[in-house]
Amino acid sequence: MISHPSILEPDIEALGIFTRQTRACLEKPFIPLKTRLNLLNTIEEILKENDQAICKAIQADFGNRSFHETRILEISPCLMGLRYTRKRLKKWMKPQRRDVSMIFWGGRNRVIPQAKGVVGIITPWNYPLFLAVSPMTSALAAGNRVMVKQAAQSQHLCRLLQDLFSSKIGSEYIRFLPGVSASIFSALSFNHLVFTGSPRTGKTVMQTAAQNLVPVTLELGGKSPVILADDFDMTTAVRRILFAKLMNAGQTCIAPDYIFVPENKIDRFIQTASKVAQELYPDIASPDYTAIIDQQAFDRLMDTLADARENGGRMISLLDGPEAILEHKKI
């Protein structure tokens, strides 16, 4: 396989790291509590010490990504997850008693937590740090080794994380893989594979993993409707809805997609939404308002707006100024 002309250097590296981690699992199948805690502590140190660099790398991948959003939505949840896990890990690792059927009177049952082995993590571009570190935290806490493939749009961050992690943690435990192809990564014989992304890609990943009977955890995008009850306070509702929708420029898998509003309150909803949006983001060109991830996504969204307009839809801009800024990929 390695000699095949379509195999690139990052793919060869991925195969080598997988072999190394698999060998480490065979030679040392049990990772002690102290080592697991040290790994989780080290990850927290990396994130805290390189907060600014991480924000800059994600901003470079997006074209513009609010530093505030990166800290609120990604770095802080990662830190909280690491601390939560460390606090409870000793208890989680203990064998657990289970009841025994009367048929087997005198017997004893125990559930003994055991690691799976090498865990692969495939992350999307919209939350590239959190959706790498969060499943990594769980996998390491359970005593596994981890390999991470990040989205093609997240390579500034991926290269940064590879540099930061490799300087403090051996590749037999964790490895980020800049530039590795999805087809090579998902075809590796992992002991478990975690994928976050679109249903279409998820189907391909699961189909590829099935060739090696690899268990897969899929977290796929969906639609998230909001129902505004007739008796709920309008301003409170709009503030909550727009905070969730406009964060990360709406590029969130569980962001509100559409809203059911009582017919007699539509105009009031629009007026309130415009007021709240301008309070949150007075200027669309502001660095606090995140850009659309790439030109393809920008064009798709603009085409959707054009299609709605051509078919009689009513377009309402919540912010003053242009509907979109092409050079900044903002809508």
Residue whose entry in the numeric block shows the structure tokens 């078919």:
311
DSSP H/E element including 288? none
Q: For residues 158 and 143, give the distance between their C-alpha atoms in angstroms, rounded to a whole number.
A: 23
107 φψ region: left (φ > 0), alpha (ψ -120 to 50), beta (else): beta
- Tell me the CB-side half-sphere exposure of residue 317, using CA atoms within 13 A: 12
Strand, helix or coil at 121?
strand
With vertex at residue 243, the alpha carbon angle to CA 240 and CA 245, rounded to the nearest 5 degrees, is 105
Tokens of 176: 């980020």
- 192 torsion bin: left (phi>0), alpha (psi -120 to 50), beta (else): beta
Q: What 3-state class would DSSP assign to 27? A: helix
Of 253, 263, 279, 323, the active-site residue reads 253
With beta carbons less than 8 A apart as the criterion, state whether 10 and 180 touch: yes
**Structure letter (DSSP) for residue 291:** P
- CA-closest candidate to residue 241, choices 265, 217, 259: 259
User: How many alpha carbons lie under 13 Å from residue 190 in its C-beta half-sphere?
Assistant: 30
Q: Which residues of 184-198 are buried (b: 16+ CB within 10 A; e: fewer)?
A: bbbbbebbbbbbbbe
Catalytic, 219? Answer yes
Q: Are 117 and 173 in contact (CB under 8 A)?
A: no
Q: Which amino acid is at 283?
A: D
Assess contact for 175 and 146: CB atoms under 8 A. Answer: yes
Q: Given 219, 279, 310, 327, which residue is catalytic? A: 219
Positions annotated as catalytic residues are: 219, 253
